[in-house]
């Protein structure tokens, strides 16, 4: 029996800066997970990932598990949570860039 497909976002690192990026609904790379498109169907997710993998401006694209939250996709694993926010030893990852813009970040 095939496993149930859980929602996924497409994520990678930006070629120039190395920043964590996500694919949004318009097929553009964004830096905020909440803006990412969550794929709920396996075939569509894999097709979009194949397309993303050909984009030379993004490095190492893969499907990351997400859950659908009030403000958009949210990580389900702590590794993706750190990728979303930045290091926890200093407040100098994305936390700093997004400080004050949203209490949820």
With binding defined as CB under 8 A, does residue 20 bind other proteins?
yes
Minimum CB distance to other proteins smaller for 24 or for 65:
65
Per rule CB under 8 A, is residue 90 in the interface with other proteins?
yes
Q: Report if residue 17 touches other proteins, rule: CB under 8 A.
A: yes
Q: Which long-range contacts (CB under 8 A, 24 or more apart) does 2-5 make?
A: 5/40, 5/41, 5/42, 5/45
Q: How many residues bind other proteins (CB under 8 A)?
A: 24
56 counts as binding other proteins under rule CB under 8 A:
yes
The vertex-53 CA angle with 64 and 80, nearest 5°, equals 20
Q: Is 82 in the site for other proteins (CB under 8 A)?
A: yes
| 8 A C-beta contact, residue 61 and residue 13 | no
Per 3-state DSSP, the chain is made up of helix, strand and coil in percentages (nearest 5) of 25, 30, 45
Closest approach of Cβ 59 to other proteins, in Å? 5
Binding site for other proteins (CB under 8 A): 13, 15-20, 56, 59-60, 76-79, 82-83, 86-90, 92-94
């Amino acid at each position: 029996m095939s496993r149930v497909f859980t929602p996924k976002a497409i994520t990678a690192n930006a070629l120039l800066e190395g920043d964590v990026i996500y694919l949004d609904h318009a097929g553009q790379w964004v830096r905020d997970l909440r803006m990412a498109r969550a794929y709920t169907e396996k075939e569509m997710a894999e097709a979009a990932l194949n397309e993303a993998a050909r984009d030379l401006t993004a490095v190492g694209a893969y499907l990351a598990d997400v859950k659908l939250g009030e403000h958009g996709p949210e990580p389900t694993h702590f590794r993706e949570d750190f990728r979303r926010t930045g290091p926890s030893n200093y407040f100098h990852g994305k936390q700093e860039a997004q400080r004050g813009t949203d209490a949820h970040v």
